[in-house]
Amino acid sequence: MTATEAQVAGQHVAMGRGGEFDAIRAMLARWGALAEGIGDDAAVLVPPVDGQLVVSTDASVEGVHFRAGWLTAEEIGARATAAALSDVAAMGGEARWVLLALEVPTAWRDELPALADGIGRLVADANARIIGGNITRGERLALTLTVIGSTSHPVMRSGARVGDSLWVTGWLGGPTRAIAAFERGDVPETDDRARFASPVPRLREGAWLAAIGARAMLDISDGLSTDAGHLAAASGVRCELWGDAIPRVPGATVEEALASGEEYELLVATDADLDAEGFMRRFGVPLTRVGRVLPAGDTPDAPLVVLSDTEVRTGSSPRVDLPAGYDHFSG
């Protein structure tokens, strides 16, 4: 037994023989101290003495969220983990524990170490720990991660109020441009591919926004136009977005930025006058005011989101057809 194997074996419950357990042991060897207490039927946790628990589950499925050949195995593991962590970030939470369920086809079996490396990198960046999960054989690669976090300032998507400003972290448009390039058989632009392959969960940013009084927040996973509609519906309001203000990766159009899903940036509603320059200095990403919260429409079928430009912000906002974001059950 190597020194690494002995260290891992000392941290976890001893497991029996077989290919499944060999695969688990191989991943544990990659994770080292990032994984705790693996091998029992369930994890035993001590909840935080202050604050509330925040729990979310997210799946990343081959053929739905990515295709073989688009990403490396390490990128697939990291990207799936970032998506799961992002849900906790959107609540203003700190990630504490991660559970992982893997469905692994035979063709992907040799890629388990690289998948584990990607998962471990994001878990380490979040200062969280892997505490269990499940692994099984399947027809296509699928990663389902459950993240358990905590916060003393949970931010729901239902808290926006008329008069609030809408803000967005980061730059938008990269993922949809990368996917379009992949589907054409082209190589995506460097910035576009980076935004698709290596999204960053805004955990520190979300916690800071929660602490300074964000009223409503969610992560942009289905596209800004669609997710603004989710926020509006939950809050009983309408969102006005300013097309010319939306931050975009180089080359992206307003339409691409509005429709681009799997961004994992944050959309925030607040009555505070946020210090965008200070935010950039603190976190290294921009914080941009992209709209405002309006009263709900007069009829049940009134649009939840309207789009305007600088010239009409102070007047009535014309309805502009917005590009649709992602919907798992459309088509």
Q: Are residues 221 and 118 in the same domain?
A: no
Between CA 291 and CA 169 the distance in angstroms is 13
Residue 326 covered by a domain: no
- Within its chain, how far is the Cα of 128 from the centroid? 16
Same domain as 143, residue 30: yes
pLDDT of 46 reads 86
Q: Is 252 a member of any domain?
A: yes
60: in domain: yes
Check residue 2 and give its pLDDT: 37
Indicate if 121 and 22 belong to the same structural domain: yes
Q: How confident is the model at residue 103 (pLDDT cuts 50, 70, 90)?
A: very high
Number of structural domains found in the chain: 2
Checking if the pLDDT of 4 tops 90, the result is: no
Enter the tokens of residue 201.
């969960």
Please tell me the predicted confidence (pLDDT) of residue 58: 95
- As a whole number, the mean pLDDT across the chain is 88
Is the dihedral angle over the CA atoms 101, 105, 109, 111 positive or is it negative? negative
Judgement on whether residues 143 and 175 belong to the same structural domain of the protein: no
CATH number of the domain enclosing 230: 3.90.650.10
Q: What is the mean pLDDT of residues 101-116?
A: 93
Whole-number Å distance between alpha carbons of 138 and 152: 39
Domain range holding 210?
165-312
How far is 5 from 122, CA to CA, in rounded Å?
22
Over range 147-154, report the average pLDDT. Answer: 95
At 109-129, the pLDDT tens digits run: 999 999 999 999 999 999 999
**The token pair that represents 171 in the structure block:** 């730059």
For residues 115 and 33, membership in a common domain is answered with: yes
Say if residue 218 is exposed, middle or buried (CB neighbours under 10 Å; 0-12, 13-18, 19+): buried
